[in-house]
Structure 1
């Protein structure tokens, strides 16, 4: 209860406004999601370790996982949703022996070298080191060693050039990964790479069909094998991707792949080449039509549709012809890039950088409009959501342009709360600036120094950066806080209290510093004596129109004292460091306001006045509604 009362002044105004209530609710939801992520951290770590040891979740381990989840406040439904993507193994499944994994940097380098070799030779790049040697994935080490030696001998006959050096590097990788080490480790790394390649296409297929159809499964299995996997690993990859999307693997017979690949360095002689079937022209006519549709879909920015047409072309042709492979590779590249772009969109939306998200989504709509996001949302749906938020922020910025004072700042801050990269709102706030804190004080408290200050009058959530100023003038950060005090434990008990600077900041903008030594050199303000003018309602809605200060006059008040200082707010109307000017409401109406100096920054205050006989009584205090800090512009 005490905490709610303490926060009343801060959140009370937000709860009265529908837009601000919505923003507050959204912030609470984000914080709740962060807490949920921390709540699931121990469970996720335990699940990951079990999957690493056993290849799935043994049945006899599930009870322990449920107990761990219950201790972390995770109910049964949330637990089931969290672990449904993992394979459940029979009780008593033995742990897999720990095997060293292939160095990811080495694997990426091999992939890059294979791609470069394809570019240099003008052919489709080999999908793996075994494909380079013309061997199937299940080849034995002796067979790999023999193929490597033959390949190396032929390579030495080539003239020294980039291609020969590249092949030498790849053969060195063959030695390291397939001869000196277990080839199964390389194939496992290849399976992880193929899983990442196929994931966007599998997600798209499941989204359209709500299942992994036999036709899709057969095509994906063939594609996994073409990327260099053996049948067992290809099936395991698709089983894992199916589990990720909550669907079953169809039970369909799949044709066995050839057990031996033709080595690229030993092309068939003309007498060895298979004779073309007499039905070749009709078959060409059959597969050319879907291939043309695939190219058209790709140009129209629909790679998932193109993938379907490529699969049909391959099925009609009965083999992966070079023309089909070229389109298939282009489709795969576009889908892979779309998956990467979707991840960038998710990061931008999470950080509320919606202008960046809108640009990325426009690129997706142009190049890959039918590739869905991770949660199944289409590009069009995500664009509509982002544009709606952008429109809301634009409306707030437009409304801020018609407002002034604290209301203008609040609207700009609300716009940035929705769209963090709204440049117009950020530029407008930069013109307004941030009012610095006041009355910075430093005092001893045990073995530490406590620094306190009066808060910045600027609207929005303010953070304060505190710096300790050394004898040489160099500054050192003490900390950043949202409250108006901080404890500095870095000052020794026998060291004099140093000077401190406090800066107020919001939305990446920081105020001028306020120093503790400057405040403590001046004497504390004397106690004020209230006058009859203090019973007047204060001026409100202070704002600048050029160099004219304007405000709303309170009822019954005909004179005001305008006070200004450049370095700090005036404590009283007779502050010796301030300038002042008395103005009547008649003069105010004639001039359209009160002229003030053009220098910036400028602290302005308006004190109410009344007449007691012939004597002018000026209010002793000036509430925040009657003050204005002008940063410039």
Structure 2
């Protein structure tokens, strides 16, 4: 174990943990800078000395402008995090746990890349040279370096195809805003976001609860800034009030003084969203040279989260996809209740009416009463009319309610997502008391070619993979055939066609009830790398155990 050096720790450990998303993305060995591989050879005195050195570093950096929020949390959780490391026995147990977690995390880094490779192999019989650069971008999305991607590709055949055109390069427009100032604004917005219990703010327009459609609307910007300025006066003196005041100064000098400066800031926003979405679009169109509607919808939501208007988001996504020679399949318009811009403006009520309804919606959201939250949002919209500031706040709460509605709940077990268990880990369990009744409608899923020819041979489950499908979900139910892939009374696991070939089928666990039933559904990966499962089974997808 190397001696503790504060500057090295800040750059090597603290900065890395902050980039990954905070303390939840780390472990005690990393946070206290103790090499995992030396956990058994280090003495308790050496470890306790290192813990005390790191603890002292945290205490001295509680007011650090960039890391104060992270450090405050580490200080608060210090007794809990450090306790397992102080004695050899508990340290060894903690090391095994952390080692397993790191190994799973490393395997997850390759999941997006491996899925893209499998799809290319199925379609082309190898890796086309024209698709090679796209795999580097997909690997980067999972945290892989170009060298790690290269090593992974050594086992696959490379096909020299005709499409060797270089990747398009984005022109860098001249801007009157210096990089230093843009970085300063970004850091202020990041600290402002960390100090709020709300979605992060990415731009000055988002700070005003506006999007890029308002960039030329000086009256709306002035009105929103005035509201925030009035709210800031009610804040106690401290860092939060100072942040709001500093950001409002930037709003005045960038968005309200010279139109050319506002245009330059708009270009910087578009460049930032371009950089964020381009690798994902490249990954989405890599195999099929088209942008699937569900991927398009996800990218639209991401762009809107980064404060682009729907109009600007569609234009940006279409342009990037066209640069890669891909067609864009537009998603259907969202339901009217999910975005205020889809509903006709209503007669506005008093400000107190929509604010009271919005407070009720937020309270319902905190209690996970999602239907009530949506109802309160509808009342708030009706009272707010066409007030853009009100609509922005209401939309944020309504979108969060819709997002949570789409997420899996304990009463509706979801199909596997980012880190599904291997096929050997299928287990069966009796229904829980909260199991829905048989009248619960199956959730909608993508339209995928069905699995066919499902049979059981000994301890193997065999079936026929349809063309283009490289992953499937095996669903087992003990009392009756599974009704649909997300049947809450069944258990499920994911299997890839690679694992299927290696094992000669899906290995059924010994715990599976032999008098039960099994069914298999096709899957696909969306742009986020999440597993999308077909909403129903094919007619030849069932078999008794």
Specify the TM-score bucket, using the shorter chain as the normaliser.
Answer: 0.3 to 0.5
The structure with the largest alpha-carbon Rg is 1
TM-score using structure 1 length: 0.29
Higher strand fraction: Structure 1 or Structure 2? Answer: 1
TM superposition score normalised by structure 2:
0.33
